[in-house]
Amino acid sequence: METQSSESPVRTAHLPQVTEPRNPGMDLDLEWVRAVQANTSAIERRAATLPGRRSVKKEYQAAWLLKAITMIDLTTLSGDDTIGRVRRLCAKARQPVASSTLQALDMPPITTGAVCVYHDMIETAVSALEGTGVPVAAVSTGFPAGLSPFHLRIAEIEESVKAGAEEIDIVISRRHVLSGDWQALYEEMKAFRVACGDAHVKAILATGELGSLRNVARASLVCMMAGADFIKTSTGKESVNATLPVTLVMIRAIRDYYDRTGYRVGYKPAGGISKAKDALVYLSLIKDELGDRWLEPDLFRFGASSLLGDIERQLEHYVTGAYSAGYRHSMG
């Protein structure tokens, strides 16, 4: 089945970002949490059908790929990050697609959704992105393991907000999920939300380390109850990162939370999404399960870096009929 729109496809790829009322959270409802189940075999069967159920071609594919770019958290989280690398990454975020390609597609300039860095690089990124409207996201709370002392994790959030980060990607304590201590997870997430202040908080569940899809569903719900603005799959450092079964579980938890509370929470798959065709599958799944409103940067992000390069190559192929070499689309 081909997913198309009656509107001009390319020109609708970049729309003004709409902002939602923030999720204020709610009291921990353990009855609701413990009632949550996950039929693993059914979820895996459904996920296995997804890559073949939707396809977009030609100008519609170009439109979806341009939309995907506006929802990328362009990321560098390496021990050898330098000021120069972060500045080059920010330059890429400011102009992720060659102007000649955008002109051929009759598109105005676009940017990525955000730039994501370690705390030490926040000021560099904020300076490099000044005037663009592209927010800086910082990983925090002892990323990626989340095992530093609690007071230091809180202080790290506060320092990152003070340095200019508008979004904070925190990591939860996996042990709370694995031991079923939902009260502890709720209190931890609530404290992180308070420390973030006006900065939006993305709760990284590290789903590859949670043991079961049921745990993923329950952890998703508890973090939303505690006020998470986004729930996110992975740090990108685990052996298993974003997958379609995990995504299905998490976005259905988001849908259930919205149905119950009226507040929309965002979703961010991260780690292992490097191909344009994979991005299209994720976007079609979001459209099917959550609807068009979630196809905006304030409610959906990809945590990625190499994904942008492959999308660029696909767009250039659409415009010119030829694939460019990968090295022409480096991230810095």
Q: Which residues are annotated as catalytic?
A: 169, 232, 268
For tokens 């190559």, name the residue: 313
Residue 20 near residue 225, CB atoms below 8 Å = no
* DSSP annotation string for 137-183: EEE-SSTTTT-S-HHHHHHHHHHHHHHT-SEEEEE--HHHHHTT-HH
Q: How many residues belong to the chain?
A: 332
Q: DSSP state, 268?
A: E
Residue 60 near residue 3, CB atoms below 8 Å = yes
CA gap 282, 50 in Å, rounded: 9
Nearest to 268 by CA among 284, 281, 286, 255: 286
β-bridge partners, 231:
203, 267
Token pair in block for residue 121:
């690089």
Nearest to 281 by CA among 232, 244, 235: 244
